[in-house]
Each structure stands twice: as structure tokens, then as C-alpha cells.
A and B are shown apart, each in its own frame.
Chain A
Amino acid sequence: MQAFNRLTAVTAPLIRANIDTDAIIPSREMKTVSKTGLADGLFAGWRYTHIGGREPNPEFVLNQAAYAGTQALLGGDNFGCGSSREHAVWALAEYGIRAIIAPSFAPIFHSNCVRNGVLPVKLPAVDIAAIAAWVADDPQQNRVSFDLPAQVVRANDQTYHFDLASEPKEMLLEGLDAIDLTQKHAAAIRAFHQADKFARPWIYDIGGP
């Protein structure tokens, strides 16, 4: 997994509440059993002029020249709600999005971000609005800086602190694979299963022909 440390990025505002994973990557754009080949389908319903087509909709922020090379998004409340599809984050990451600032994230989406090297930053809506206004003045010049070790975002000479639990922080900083981390506790897991087989045998004796 790609680690995340610091990043200064062209940042595009997409401040709508409840941007769901269907909007991030519509079902119809998930065409194969694969984690890649998804960037083209990112925000397809908004980004292209018609469903299934590839003609860019000039009104959509990521299609505007001022936002070329966008690597971060400013979002609304409950970002990433809806279907649990991890394809939403795979599509964002493949497109080049490395960080998302929103007032709140849907829980499954949040943990999918962390598992794929995308930094989810929670900030109050007023701060996001202020950043968006500054960015809009000159998106290519007014880049937002993300500093994960310090847990701050910098924009327009302001510093915004954000909270992130220590585990997701560690995983992002080190680009760690969670399975490897957990397997270090294999002995504890074995011990749990041994005791649990006595306490709750029906969990392990799977009946049924």
C-alpha cells in the first residue's frame, strides 16, 4: 500500500452532502473482477454528459482546466455513504486522489480509505467552506498542504488540526498491510479460538449437509 506522509495538492471542491459510493463509482462502471481500471468510471454520472458516455461535462469541477491535476477533494457531510464497495476508493486512488476533507465520513468508506493510502480528514464545514473559497480564487496556485505526522492541513496561512486515531495514522504513514500487522498476534488468536471452542462449540461445529 502507498504510504502517506505529506502532500501539497490542487484541491477540488465537491461540497455536497451524502456523496454516496454509487455516485463515486456507479455499479455499471465496475466491469471486471479487479481493483484497477476504475479511474475512468470515477464520478461517471456527473463527469460525463450522458450515462455510459465519455464526453466530459464541462460543468463538473474535475473537468475544468483550473483543477487539472487534482489530488485532493473537499466534500460534504457523510462522504462515501451507501454501498460498501471498495471500488469507490480504488477509483479515487487510481484517478490520483490522495486526500479527502469532509465534515464526516461514512464508516466503511473511511476504513477503506485508510486501507488504500487515501487520507480522510475530518474538519468542520465552516473551515471547509473557507478553504474552498480560497482555493477557488486560483486553484493551481492555492494548493492545500496535508501534513499527516503533525495532523494538520494548511491553507491560506491558516492551520487546521484534525483528529485521526493512532492505528489508521500508523497504517497510512507506514503504508502497512493490516493482515501482516494482525498476524503478529497469531498466538493470541489461536488461544482465543481454543477457549472459545469450549465456550461456544456451535460456532465451530458447522452443521448442515
Chain B
Amino acid sequence: MSATARSTLFEKLWRQHLVKELPGGVALIAIDRVFLHERTGSIALKSLREAGRPILDPSRVFCTMDHIVDTLPGRGDETRMPGGKAFIVETREAARAAGIHLFDVRDADQGIVHVISPELGIVLPGTTIVCPDSHTCTQGAMGAFAWGIGSTEAEHALATGCLRLSKPKTMRVRFEGRLAPGVTAKDLSLLMISRFGSAGGNGFALEYAGSAVAALDIEARLTLCNMATEFSAVTGFIAPDDKTFAYLKGRRFVPRGAEWERAVAAWRDLRTDEGAVFDAEHVIDVGDLAPMISWGTSPQHAISISEPVPMQAASGASAEAYARAIEYMDVKPGAPLKGLKIDAAFVGSCTNSRLSDLRRAAALLKGQHVAPGVRAICVPGSTSVKRHAEAEGLDKIFKNAGFEWRESGCSMCFFAGGESFGPHERVVSSTNRNFESRQGPETRTHIASPETVVASAIAGQIADARELAS
């Protein structure tokens, strides 16, 4: 193979979808799948219809109700968010009129877009998939080019089947070594972002690789790719392998029979060639990684559970933002986070609400109870995850331990004006964003793995899950 023939996985994905090079370094890239949800997708459908523009191929467009929909048991179209019902009703009408696939409030396949897309085999290796939602990069774990766009770009993808893109630079992050027990994909994300900063991936298409990534199961890979957007990367993805194919086989929208065989043969080529060159490359040794948790209001404000809160802003980071974060979170420079009293615990979101997340959390919760005064909530990522968890009796473990057990959706991952955590409440959360007021007005969010969330819920204070397990 000549040097020029060596390609990164991203270059292969790019070439396969290149419709036309346009002047000015822009390319028309074919979009295989568009996903919408009731929060941002409704606007795209509405504007298209108002402009009299048809959807090029409605059979490749999918829509779910996840962001605004209530997650309380027995829910319907009513939501706690003022005006929320209108989003649901208007999205339903627009989706029906457009003839796209809709996973409605009571559908057995309803769930958070980035959970159900892999679960239903909508995202496949080698696909381009977009959604007006920044965590679309989650789906790159299936070996896809998946990224979040704005609503106007969604209209463009729907109407033309393409997007106009400048080619991103390529980055590879290799996680090498064996993860210690109790250390997870979430900790890998937080480590990377804390080390290189929340703008560390800006402008890059990011391939995750290395022995620690190869060892992750598919659900953990989805967790890892989920936070590529917190790193400001255009997308994050992982080359598909036998685990990916085994995970997908037989799922609802996956090819069958001879077409499946043909697809898998093609997907086997979706990997970076030996010797291919990246614009940037990092190697991170993870053999001695401990569970990570955020102390501040940016995902880059993360430390290992046994470390103290930093005494000053990281080099290159703004001192003002550091001071503001310390004040907002009411944490002390130099003091450990461990032992800080918490008000609430949240297991959910497109980062960590899949069956394996709930199983690991339940294993720690079994026979335990949430500390008095702590509000604890578990929201399965999809209706199917919820069904499976209930079939295994996980719901009983959560409920017996004092957790609320919800219907699937984004729920309190973000505050949309309805349900929220209270002002100044300290929440340990398995979500991906710890921005100011993300989970409620002036709520203080610490993001961490489900293990850390559950251990902290039991202790009533920020805790190291490894101590609970032993």
C-alpha cells in the first residue's frame, strides 16, 4: 500500500459520502439518516412546510419525543413545562404530515434519541446521521459519522439529503491500558476533557482508539462518544468491530439476510489504515485512572474523586471563570469533594441510562438505601431499557433503595422550565453537562459515572463507589 492510500477512518467516511466538491473548500456530503426530536425538530418541520419544501426521502427520517415529554408514571401529552404540550402535539402533527417515522409518547420504542437510534439499528456503521441536538456524536460509537446541527441545517438536510461542510481536521485519542474495577467510560471522557480543556477538540473529527476502548462494550462506547461535544469536537467515533456487528444483528431497522452479510463485509473496511496520519494525536494511559467527578461549571472542571479541588485555574484557563465556578458550586479550593453533603442524585440521560448502566448501579444499590433527605431519581434512557430492566427486577432494587423510577426521556438532565432541582441544591448526576442552572435554577451539578451517583446517594455525600463495593 502506498503512503497516499493510507486513510483514516474519517477520510473513508468522508469519501463515501462526498457528493461534490464546491468552491471555497466546501463539500456536499450525503446524509443517510436524519433524526429529530420534539424540542428542535418540530421547528425544522414547521419551517420547511411553511416554505413549501418537501422532504427528499421521508423513509430515512426519524423523530422521537424525549426532551419535553414528562417522565412521571402514567404520562400523556401533558407536561410540567409551560407550553410543553404544544411542542408534543405540533411535532406529532408535523411528523405525520411529513410521513416520517415517529416514536410517539406511548410507543414501545420511544426513548432518548441517542439511546434508541443504536438500539433500533437506525445508526449503522458507515452512516452519516445528523440531529438538531449536540449529543448526536454519541452515535459515532457505532462507527458512524454522527453530529449535531442547528435547526436550519436540519431543514437543509431534510430538503436536499445533503449538508454543506468544510472538512474537519482529524484527531485520534488512544486510551491505553486496563481500566481498574469501578472505573468506566464516563471517567475516560472526563479525564480527556479535564486534561485538554473543553475546547480541546475544536475543529476536529475525533477517533477514539486504543486497548481500553477496544475492551469497552458497545454501551460504554456510546457513553464515551457522548461527550465529544463537551470537548468541542465536531464528532467522536470508534471503528466498528465484531462487538458492533453482534450488537446490531437482528435489531429493528438493520438489514437482514444477504444484505446483512454484504453490509458487514463492507463495514469491516471501516477502520484507520496502519500508518495513516492524523492532524493531532494524543495517547492517554488509563491503567491507574480513578473515578472522575466535576467540581465546577464546565466539563473541564473535573478531578479524580480522591483529588482536592484545584487551588487555581488550569494553565491557559481564565482565572475569572475559575473563581466564578468555585463560587457558584460553593466548593473550597484545596478541599476534597468527597464528603460534601448532597441533596439529590440523578441516574439518567443519553450519557448513562442504558441497561448496562442501570445494572451496574443496581448492583451497588442492592440491599442499600438512599440517605435521608436525598432525592434520588432514575430515568431509563428508553422505554425498551425500562422494560428490560423491569424484567430483571432492577426497578425493584431502585425503588426499594428509595429511588424514583421513571418513564424514559431526557427528564431532569436539563431544565426546560418544568421539573427541576432546587436553587443551590447539590446534585450528583450521571449526565454530561454541569453548566450553571443546567438542571434547575442555580442548581449545583457534579457529573460522574452512575456508580459514583449511586454511592453518593447512599452516603448522602459525594462518595467513592470503590469503597462501597469493597
Contact = CB atoms under 8 A, between A and B. Distances in A.
Interface stretch (B110-118, B316-324, B361-369): B316-324
B70 to A, nearest CB: 15
A66 B121 CA distance: 56
Contacts of B277: none
Given A45-B437, A81-B232, A82-B435, A193 B134 contact: no
Nearest to B417: A28
B383 to A, nearest CB: 16
Interface in A43-81: 45, 51-52, 76-78, 81
Contact of B199 (A31, A78, A196, A203): A78
B162 interface: yes
Given A77-B199, A188-B19, A203 B298 contact: no
A35 B199 contact: no
Nearest to A178: B156
Interface stretch (B5-13, B42-50, B172-180, B184-192): B42-50
A207 B252 contact: yes
Nearest to B318: A17
Interface in A106-121: 106-108, 111-112, 115-116
Contacts of A207: 252-256
B60 A204 contact: yes
B209 interface: no
B150 A112 contact: yes
Contacts of A150: none
B348 interface: no
B284 interface: no
B75 interface: no
Contacts of A35: 43, 47, 151
A166 to B, nearest CB: 3
B126 to A, nearest CB: 7
B145 interface: no
Given A84-B133, A112-B152, A189 B60 contact: no
B318 A76 contact: yes
A126 interface: no
Interface residues of B, number: 85
Contacts of B124: 202-203
A175 to B, nearest CB: 13
Contacts of B47: 35
Contacts of A147: none
Interface in A85-130: 85-86, 89, 104, 106-108, 111-112, 115-116
A179 B151 CA distance: 13
A112 B198 CA distance: 20
Give chain A's interface residue range (CB within 8 Å of chain B): 35 or more
B470 to A, nearest CB: 37
A30 B162 CA distance: 28
Interface stretch (A5-13, A19-27, A133-141, A153-161): A19-27
B184 to A, nearest CB: 23
Given A17-B321, A167-B26, A84 B134 contact: yes
Interface string A159-196: 00000011100100000001101110110110011001
A189 B160 contact: yes
A182 B28 contact: yes
Nearest to A81: B232
Interface string B221-249: 00000000000101000000000000000
A108 B321 contact: no
A53 to B, nearest CB: 11
B332 interface: no
A203 B32 contact: yes
A2 to B, nearest CB: 13
Contacts of A200: 16, 126, 263, 266
A27 B67 CA distance: 11
A179 B156 contact: yes
Going nearest first, the 8 A-B pairs with the smallest beta carbon separation are A166-B24, A28-B417, A202-B255, A51-B441, A86-B150, A84-B134, A112-B150, A78-B199
14 contacts: A22-B437, A34-B43, A76-B321, A83-B134, A83-B414, A84-B134, A84-B150, A86-B43, A108-B148, A165-B26, A182-B160, A203-B124, A206-B253, A207-B255
Given A84-B132, A107-B202, 8 more contacts: A18-B199, A28-B416, A29-B417, A34-B43, A35-B151, A112-B153, A200-B266, A204-B57
Interface of A: 16-18, 20, 22-23, 26-35, 45, 51-52, 76-78, 81-86, 89, 104, 106-108, 111-112, 115-116, 165-167, 170, 178-179, 181-183, 185-186, 188-189, 192-193, 196, 200-209
Interface of B: 16, 19-20, 22-26, 28, 30, 32, 39-40, 42-43, 46-47, 53, 57, 59-60, 81-83, 86-87, 90-91, 101, 120-121, 124, 126-127, 132-134, 148-153, 155-156, 159-162, 164, 166, 198-199, 202-203, 232, 234, 252-256, 259-260, 262-263, 266, 298, 317-318, 320-321, 324, 414-417, 423, 433, 435-438, 441-442
